[in-house]
Amino acid sequence: MRKIPSYNLYGESPRPPWYDAFNFEWIVERSAPNDWHIDAHRHDALLQFLYIRGGGGEVLIENCLIEIVPPCVIMLPAQTVHGFNFAPDVDGLVITVAQRSIEAIASIAAPGLVPVLQRAGLMRVSASAARESSLMPIVELLEKEFRATDRARMAAGMPLLIALLCTWRVSVNMNRRRASHRRTGGRSRSNASGSWRRRISASIVPSSSMRRRSA
């Protein structure tokens, strides 16, 4: 059986865990030099969050291949085996963050995020939700903090990432409520008191739409 390599960031030599505790990249930066293919690998202590706006491809999560249909979000907790085949026109970003650090902040600022941060998967985002959300302004702030040379960028980047995830959560909830309203013809209100975690779980690509990678 082939050994799955573990990196801090794909293709780079091991570094102290704190070094890449917050990293921002556009997908093209690392995938284009690798001919749009990222071999299966994992990160021992780092979570990765991908927001893909255009293009497409496939993501390997553990032993399942999932088609990337933008707009979508991909969550890859630490130690999740993953890889990618991107289309050359892919338009998206990947944020890498220390799993324990982001969970510690989320447990205080937004406890409902913690189980989401611990579950690997691809979550589709409706085109209307993507247009109406405030994701990209926060993304621009995240990139600005990362590109800055100030050593405090991680301290600023973590709360911004929490804000990004909460904004994404709101957009998903709004879209689901609208869909429910359309299905019922406006005769009943969607139940806003249900657990957000259950609503998010319902949007995760089901196993029936995945195809197993041959060993």
Does any domain span residue 17?
no
In a domain, 1, yes or no: no
Answer whether residue 112 is part of any domain. yes
Res 54 pLDDT > 80: yes
pLDDT tens, residue by residue, 55-109: 999 999 999 999 999 999 999 999 999 999 999 999 999 999 989 989 999 999 9
pLDDT above 80 (res 211):
no
CA 4 – CA 115 distance, rounded (Å): 25
173 in Cβ contact with 166 (< 8 Å): no
Q: Is the pLDDT of residue 176 over 70?
A: no
pLDDT digits (tens, 9 = 90+) for 184-194: 765 544 444 34
State how beta strands 64-68 and 57-61 pair: antiparallel
Residue 180 and residue 189 in contact, taking contact as beta carbons nearer than 8 Å: no
- d(CA 195, CA 14) in angstroms, rounded, equals 39
Question: Residue-wise over 26-36: b if at least 16 C-beta within 10 A, else e?
Answer: ebbebbeeeeb
Query: Structural domain tally of the chain?
Result: 1
More confident position, 120 or 198: 120
Evaluate whether residue 154 is within a structural domain: yes
53 belongs to a structural domain: yes
pLDDT digits (tens, 9 = 90+) for 114-148: 999 999 999 888 776 666 567 888 899 889 888 87
Kindly report, residue by residue over 2-22, the tens digit of the pLDDT. Answer: 677 665 555 555 555 555 578
Look up the domain containing 165 and give its range.
22-184
Domain of 153: which CATH number? 2.60.120.280
DSSP annotation of 6 reads B
Establish if 98 belongs to a structural domain.
yes
